[in-house]
Amino acid sequence: MSDPLQSWNDGPVKASIVEFVARVTNRGSSDHVPPAERIAVFDNDGTLWCEQPLQVQVFFALDRMKHLARKDPSLAQRQPFKAFLEHDLKTIASLGKRGAFEFAFMTHAGISEEGFDALAHAWLEEALHPKLGRLFKRCVFQPQIELMNYLRDNGFKTFIVSGGGIDLIRAVSEEAYSIPREQVIGSSLKTRVDTQNGILTLIKLSELGTFDDREVKVENIGLHIGRRPIFAFGNSDGDLAMMRYTLAGPGSRLALLLHHDDAAREFAYDRDFKLSPLSEALDKAASYGVRVVSMKRDWGKVFI
Amino acid sequence: MSDPLQSWNDGPVKASIVEFVARVTNRGSSDHVPPAERIAVFDNDGTLWCEQPLQVQVFFALDRMKHLARKDPSLAQRQPFKAFLEHDLKTIASLGKRGAFEFAFMTHAGISEEGFDALAHAWLEEALHPKLGRLFKRCVFQPQIELMNYLRDNGFKTFIVSGGGIDLIRAVSEEAYSIPREQVIGSSLKTRVDTQNGILTLIKLSELGTFDDREVKVENIGLHIGRRPIFAFGNSDGDLAMMRYTLAGPGSRLALLLHHDDAAREFAYDRDFKLSPLSEALDKAASYGVRVVSMKRDWGKVFI
Distances (CA, A) of A18 to A3, A13, A154, A235: 11, 9, 11, 20
Distances (CA, A) of A165 to A120, A172, A210, A242: 11, 12, 10, 18
Cβ A146 vs Cβ A154: under 8 Å: no
Residue B299 predicted with pLDDT over 90 = yes
Query: Does the A12-52+133-298 domain belong in CATH 3.30.800.10?
Result: no
CB pair distance less than 8 Å for B223 and A184:
no
Residue B276: the pLDDT is 92
User: Rg of chain B's alpha carbons, rounded to an integer?
Assistant: 19
B222 phi and psi, to 5 degrees?
A: -60, -45
What b-and-e string marks burial along B76-105, b requiring 16 or more CB atoms within 10 Å of the CB?
A: beeebbebbbeeeeeebbebebbebbebbb
The pLDDT mean for chain B works out to: 95
| Chain A stretch 136-195, residues whose beta carbon is closer than 8 A to a beta carbon of chain B | 157, 166-167, 170, 174, 180-184, 188, 190-193
In this structure, are strands B184-196 and B199-210 parallel, antiparallel, or unpaired?
antiparallel
Residue B220: closest C-alpha in chain A = A191
Residue B14: the pLDDT is 98
Residue of A39, A162, A182, A215 to mutate, interface with B, max B Cβ within 10 Å: A182
Interval B105-116: pLDDT, tens: 999 999 999 999
State yes or no: ipTM above 0.90. Answer: yes
Distance from CA of A226 to the nearest CA of B (A): 6
d(CA A269, CA A263): 8
d(CA B143, CA B155): 19
Domain ranges of chain A: 12-52+133-298
In this structure, are strands A231-234 and A199-210 parallel, antiparallel, or unpaired?
unpaired
Q: Pseudo-torsion of CA A204, A205, A206, A207, nearest 10°?
A: -110
CB pair distance less than 8 Å for B223 and A191:
yes
Q: Which of B210, B201, B299 is closest to B256 using CA atoms?
A: B299
Check residues B221 and B62 and name the one with the higher pLDDT: B221
Distance from CA of A109 to the nearest CA of B (A): 15
Residue B129 predicted with pLDDT over 80 = yes
Residue A183: closest C-alpha in chain B = B225
d(CA B77, CA B129): 26
Residue B196: the pLDDT is 84
| Chain A stretch 104-123, residues whose beta carbon is closer than 8 A to a beta carbon of chain B | 113
Residue B1 predicted with pLDDT over 80 = no
Determine the angle formed by the axes of helices A240-247 and A215-224, rounding to 10 degrees.
Answer: 60
d(CA B258, CA B231): 14
3-state secondary structure chain A: CCCCCCCECCCHHHHHHHHHHHHHHCCCCCCCCCHHHCEEEECCECCCECCCCCCHHHHHHHHHHHHHHHHCHHHHHCCCHHHHHCCCHHHHHHCHHHHHHHHHHHCCCCCEHHHHHHHHHHHHHHCECCCCCCEHHHCEEHHHHHHHHHHHHCCCEEEEEEEEEHHHHHHHHHHHHCCCHHHEEEEEEEEEEEEECCEEEEEEEEEEEECCCCHHHHHHHHHHCCCCCCEEEECCHHHHHHHHHHHCCCCCCEEEEEECECCCCCCECCCCCCCCCCCHHHHHHHHHCCEEEEHHHHECCCEC
Interval A210-253: pLDDT, tens: 999 999 999 999 999 999 999 999 999 999 999 999 999 999 99
* Stretches in chain A below the pLDDT threshold 50: none
CATH of B12-298, one of 3.50.50.60, 3.40.50.300, 1.10.1060.10, 3.40.50.1000: 3.40.50.1000
- Please, how many CA atoms are within 13 Å of residue B125, restricted to the half-sphere of its CB? 6
CB pair distance less than 8 Å for B215 and A225:
no
CB atoms within 10 A of CB A86: 12
Distance from CA of B104 to the nearest CA of A (A): 19
Residue A197: the pLDDT is 82
Residue A247: closest C-alpha in chain B = B200
Q: Give contacts of B158 with chain A, Cβ < 8 Å.
A: none
**Residue type for A224, please?**
H
Residue B87: the pLDDT is 87
Strand arrangement of the beta sheet that strand B157-165 belongs to: B199-210, B184-196, B157-165, B39-42, B231-234, B254-259, B291-294
Q: Give contacts of A180 with chain B, Cβ < 8 Å.
A: 36
CB pair distance less than 8 Å for A223 and B209:
yes
Per-residue pLDDT, averaged over B3-22, amounts to 98
CB pair distance less than 8 Å for A245 and B193:
yes
Check residues B175 and A198 and name the one with the higher pLDDT: B175
What b-and-e string marks burial along A231-244, b requiring 16 or more CB atoms within 10 Å of the CB?
A: bbbbbbbbbbbbbb
Interval B254-296: pLDDT, tens: 999 999 999 999 999 999 999 999 999 999 999 999 999 999 9
Residue B190: closest C-alpha in chain A = A219
Interval B20-51: pLDDT, tens: 999 999 999 999 999 999 999 999 999 999 99
